[in-house]
Structure 1
Amino acid sequence: MVMSKFFETLPEGYGYVVLAGTGSVFVNMWMAINVGRARKKFEVPYPEMYSSSSKEFNCIQRAHQNTLETYPQFLMLLFVGGLQYPKISAAAGAVYLAGRIAYALGYYTGDPEKRRWGAVGHIAELVLLGNVLSLAAHQLGWVGHRHCRMRF
């Protein structure tokens, strides 16, 4: 009963936001598996984070590490911004994840310049940031009509 009341407060379409968040788990796992495979291929033992002899391993490791460095803010922006704009947030989340995949595939070539293929993910981050700022402004009464059905 408590959960059903909670679900009633979420905006229509928030499930898409949850699916985008879940998709990020799979992208992260894919990158972690690639680092594990690269460790074996380039003989980089644990607990070494980077290799002194393999630029390619370092690029694969760095792609995953950079994703982990930005993961908390992505999730916060996705889940909070989705409270007001669930479909826009979910779509931006999907674009962000596609950007992370493109970023990784570019970096995996061993040429760090090719990681720029994933720059589209930064546009998605800006959209998510805008959604969160809009939610905050609406909730604080700084701007007019609220689109959010959450009870604050």
Structure 2
Amino acid sequence: MEINENAVLKTSKEIEILAPVEKVWNIQANIDAWHEWQPDISEAKLASRLESGATFVWKSGGFKLTSTIGKVSKNDFLGWNGRGFGASAIHIWEFKQMENGNTLVRTKESMDGWLVRLLKGMMDKKLSESLDTWLNSLKQVAESQ
């Protein structure tokens, strides 16, 4: 699973988290608890087990979204895609255990569609800020537990 390299918007970020990969993975993979530590998310509910094809409904920045898990590999990879009014997105997360025992988290997202093209400047800034918030929140909760 990869992001759409031809999409109107593409962003990638990474962060080193001072915690083992299993701990970081367990926090990120618990979709139902995202709203407890991620300030942009007000609710999230996985419809079944965390596996390819599973769907989850969530609210981020006031927008209700339905996403489908595209690929999941425990402690390594989590990716989903979703469609909404005038937009589609692909979001992937990669987790790598570093030699020092910390975890390197990389995230990439692509967004496309007529609404994204129309509001490209604003949405590009919002997407970048959103990924920064998500990564920093994940770091904070993983390092404080």
TM-score normalised by the chain length of structure 2: 0.30
Greater per-residue strand proportion: 2
Name the larger-Rg structure: 1
Report 1 or 2 for greater relative contact order, CA contacts < 8 Å, sequence distance ≥ 6: 2
TM-score normalised by the chain length of structure 1: 0.29
